[in-house]
Structure 1
């Protein structure tokens, strides 16, 4: 396995895999919603949100944590320790994910809102998936520590392919064989069948990663035999390190992402107490959790490839006390992330309604409004993903945990106030989510400045893509509505609008970036000249 550090290469592998996976995810959500119905897709969304909470505890942060601790050992050529950490992480994760899976199986009813009991079965079906996901996370983290993103990338693609196929097939089979034919029965069993696909996808991805490990076993063994450091930690020390490093990262990700689950439960419970029909609650929450979140998660996942690739590299550089090199790597990750997230946010906001109508014909229009308002969260969430990765990479995983906790308290207080005092309904969830993402960005930025003396590259990373996105958004919107008026085709109009908008963005981005770099180069030359003159005067 190669250990060559190349952020752009590794991030590109993950981005391509993420794009393919998310497109597949988009394509199967529409036929799935047709099969299970509006109520069923709401149950599916509630079950997936609860599942993600347990997944965060069991395995969600395992790849990042494992890649961090192993990358640090590889940086000092401690190959024996790296291998022992891999085995220790497998044991650690099996225990953690096994406990989470058992809780999911027997405690599912406690995680589902009381007025949405039909989602409980769908969550229970996901219990084995939680256990398998933990093991899969360790394998992915191991390869990421070696700066080898190919196995992870391929496994994500085959995972999503099987997920899509099995979700649709199992949903139909469950309804056909187990449902009593009522609206509630179809929704309950359809949602449960839909979640079977998630487990099938994780299983095939795990088998692929295990096979990739076996292919590299001989090379791994050669590295272990060539270890000349003479340093080999005991398993007691390894488990201690894993606990101290992995646990804060797990809790950080848990708190960082739990707001989605809490928001869903609070919305369902409070809306129910205010007399809103449970079917209406389920339908509107499906618009938010399955339609809106599915769309914005595409650019978020693409932009998240940079932080994922960055963590092992920053960890290794920071462990070697190469702080300037670590900051340069963070600059690269930030710039790459914002290059994707800012135009994505602008484009999705401008074309919100046609995109949601195309991808989800069953939408009642709520998802389009949510996307129009909430596209901005892509930028804030991408920023906080980068800063979370940085703080985890430098061994400060407790900081994003506390920052997320503070933001969560603000999120909950605001959501309760909005649901109780206004008639915003599902839009109150969106407003609280936007505020939550902003607060985390601010707090994480303060933490980075304090502990790594990092300054955001505002010009190249933020200003450049923002300025390039403005003409892109204007052109894309104008082209779409003009073509839609002429052709009457939503699909054709969208394809042309996105293609031309993308070309305009790249053209403006290149021009603006060239000018910004010229200005920055001139500024550095002037500063160097002033320093030289000052030395001459002294």
Structure 2
């Protein structure tokens, strides 16, 4: 029996976060795909050494970004959504203005600190002096991204992810073009300068700096688009402010305190995700040097890890991050005005949809690790493929830890992810040092450390969610059914690849055919075993059409 118009309208309003999350996820995946594609020529230009310089500088940039801005979209969207749920539109806009002033101040300070301190950081902390060029180029981007983060958070708090999604795509396209051109030009300049100075790594170091120009240019393009949207939206904001009849007008000092109390825990928990990477890379360099490796050798290994493995792993993880971003304001609104049952339903649906994407990505990477590396980077060596096979589980674990972070933020337990991240970091570091020094796992210790951290974080977050909300995870529907469908997909995909590799050969056709078969097989099995309910499908973009097609081809369980 079909839903009545009232029910359909109610579902659309209640579960709009799935649609908005899907929009953001689609944009995030598209940007990650663009990232993978442009990194192919970029990797060929820079080489593994240049990728090492780029990756190291970018890790420091990511830490600074966490401190200056990455918490702002979550914090701003949460504060805005709470006030809109109470129909306080004037206060919601005051949150935006206060956050914008805060972002400019902090972003400017962090940018200057990184630019002026790049030499000390690269030489003494990173044990990679030539990373200084890339780090200095990246520094201005911190201010740009901080301002952009506030505008994105404001729109997300209002329940629309479209400005964020479009700005991300524009940002990545500009990033891709400028990175390739900048790396190519500066690599040539650096090579000539290196020949004169007797420094063979100056070419890769200059090339890495050229590639980081794309990051800054892309951020600027994304910000300009968002400012354009704000100008178009100005009349709507004015009408909303005039219609606001709420008597309580919050002071900017009160809003700033609320922003800090909301943002600081998010800063800490999200910063730990990146600080463990920079700590790992620093320990890795020091230990490798102590074990007799020269800079060129360990920077090349690091380049494989950051330039090939990490780039691929981040593609499916973007979906979990997008769903997490969309669930924070939605879950906050439900916690403010909804019931315990609605809270549990939203948590359950978010976890299940995250795993529906993460688990097959993990299996796909595991069975096609070497063919993917050959297809994208023409790299037939064993190290990149083995890294991807070993780290495939990271997609599931990081996806789970990321989305449970967002769930706790939506439940108003802002400090819990930060505390859990601190505990997970300690466990992670102990395990990583053992892997590097006792077991001498070399570059594989970097992946092993990721696994330990994400596993610890996921367990701690799930325990906290159960404790504070009473939510009990359905292991069969969340993990069991997606894994069953993905395992069947993996076996068939591997067989199809081997068949086409034998009959056709080449880098492209066997992999592409295998991926198409993988998607079709997984979708069919996923639906046949009842992983997604009819309501789940209807909540997706074009859910009605998808459900009708599934029923037409008898894909729904009887």
TM-score tier, shorter chain, comes to over 0.9
1:278 and 2:295 are equivalent in the alignment: yes
Q: Is contact 2:482–2:531 with CA below 8 Å preserved after alignment?
A: no
Determine which of 430, 435, 444 is the counterpart of 1:427.
444
Please, which of 312, 318, 339 is the counterpart of residue 295 of structure 1? 312
* Alignment partner, residue 131 of structure 2: 119
Deviation at 1:275?
1.0
> Which residue of the partner structure matches residue 448 of structure 1?
465
User: Are residues 135 and 455 of structure 1, via their aligned partners in 2, closer, same or farther at CA, if it must alter by over 3 Å?
Assistant: same
Structure 2 match to 1:148? 160
Check the 8 A contact 2:53/2:131 in 1, yes or no.
yes
Tell whether 2:497 aligns with 1:513. no
Q: Equivalent residue for 1:20? A: 30
The equivalent residue for 1:138 is 150
Are the structure 2 counterparts of residues 395 and 254 from structure 1 closer, same or farther at C-alpha, using a change threshold of 3 Å? same
Point out the more displaced range, 193-202 or 5-14.
5-14
Contact kept? 1:3, 1:147, Cα under 8 Å:
no
1:73-101 deviation digits (Å, cap 9, x = unpaired): 00011000000000000011112222211
> 1:111 is paired with a residue of what secondary structure?
helix
Partner of 1:188: 205
Counterpart Cα distance in 2 of 1:412 and 1:178? 36
CA contact (8 A) 2:171 2:218 kept: yes
Question: Which residue in 1 is equivalent to 2:95?
Answer: 85
Counterparts of 2:91 and 2:533, CA distance in 1: 45
Q: Distance in 1 between matches of 2:286 and 2:202?
A: 22
Is 2:512 the partner of 1:502? no
Q: Is the 8 A contact 2:190 2:204 kept in 1?
A: no
1:451-495 per-residue CA deviation (whole Å, 9 max, x = no partner) reads: 111222322222111110111000111111121111112210011
Q: What secondary structure sits across from 1:376 in the alignment? A: helix
**Could you list the runs of 5+ residues in structure 2 that have no partner in the other structure?**
1-11, 535-558
| Partner SS, residue 529 of structure 2 | helix
Matched, 1:101 2:118: no
1:320 matched to 2:332? The reply is no
Give the whole-Å Cα distance in 1 for the aligned partners of 2:296 and 2:381: 14
Aligned equivalents of 2:111, 2:95: Cα separation in 1: 23
Equivalent residue number for residue 250 of structure 2: 233
Where does residue 349 of structure 1 map in the other structure?
366
Q: 1:202 to 1:231 in 2, by over 3 A?
A: same
Do the aligned partners of 1:174 and 1:189 also contact (CA within 8 Å) in 2? Answer: yes
8 Å contact from structure 2 (residues 50, 207) kept in 1:
yes
1:40 aligns with 2:57: no
Could you list the structure 1 runs, at least 4 aligned residues long, displaced by more than 4 angstroms after superposition: 2-5, 514-517
Output aligned runs, 1:442-481, within 5 Å: 442-481=459-498
CA contact (8 A) 1:115 1:272 kept: no
Structure 1 residues 177 and 432: CA distance shift in structure 2, 3 A = closer
Displacement of 1:516 in angstroms is 8.8
1: CA distance, partners of 2:452 / 2:330: 31
Is 1:76 aligned with 2:93? no
Can you list the C-alpha shifts for 1:134-167, whole angstroms capped at 9, x where unaligned? Answer: 0010011111111111111111111000000000
**Alpha carbons of structure 1 residues 515 and 192: separation in structure 2 relative to 1, 3 Å:** closer
**Cα offset, 1:3, TM superposition:** 8.1
Name the SS of the counterpart of 1:239 in structure 2.
Answer: helix
1:387-434 residue CA offsets vs partner (Å, 9 max, x unmatched): 100111122121111111111111111111221112210111211211
Q: Which 5+ residue runs of structure 1 have no aligned equivalent?
A: 518-538
In the alignment of these two chains, the number of paired residues is 517
Cα shift at 1:320: 2.4
Distance 1:221 1:140 in 2: 19
Match of 1:31 in 2: 41
Matches of 2:343 and 2:225, distance apart in 1: 32
Partner of 2:389: 372
Mapped contact 1:256–1:401 kept (Cα < 8 A) = no
Once the two structures are TM-superposed, the CA of residue 5 in structure 1 deviates from its matched residue by 5.3
Q: What does 1:150-299 correspond to in 2, within 5 Å? A: 150-179=162-191, 180-182=193-195, 183-299=200-316
1:329 matched to 2:346: yes
- TM-score w.r.t. the length of structure 2 is 0.90
> How many Å separate the matches in 1 of 2:245 and 2:385?
59
After TM superposition, give the deviation of residue 272 of structure 1 in Å: 0.8
Alpha-carbon distance in structure 2 between the residues aligned to 1:201 and 1:169: 13
Deviation larger for 173-182 or 384-393: 173-182
Q: 1:340 & 1:110 partners in 2: Cα distance?
A: 42
Distance apart, 1:51 and its partner CA: 0.8
Q: Cα distance 1:150–1:515, how it changes in 2: closer, same or farther (>3 A)?
A: closer
Q: Could you tell me which residue of structure 1 aligns to residue 504 of structure 2? A: 487
Q: How much has 1:37 moved relative to structure 2?
A: 2.1
Could you tell me how far 1:109 is from its partner in structure 2?
A: 3.3
| Counterpart-to-counterpart distance in 2, 1:213 and 1:313 | 22
Whole-angstrom CA distance in 1 between matches of 2:133 and 2:170: 26
CA contact (8 A) 2:43 2:307 kept: no
Separation (CA, whole Å) in 1 of partners of 2:235 and 2:90: 14
For residues 78 and 326 of structure 1, the distance between their equivalents in structure 2, rounded to whole angstroms, comes to 23
* Distance across 1 between alignment mates of 2:170 and 2:188: 27
Cα offsets for 1:224-248 (capped at 9, x unmatched): 1111121110111111111111111
For residues 315 and 237 of structure 1, do their structure 2 counterparts lie closer, same or farther at Cα, with a shift above 3 Å needed?
same
Mean Cα deviation higher: 68-77 or 181-190 = 181-190
**Range with greater deviation from structure 2 (67-76 or 9-18):** 9-18
Paired with 1:450 and 1:421, the residues of 2 have a C-alpha distance of 37
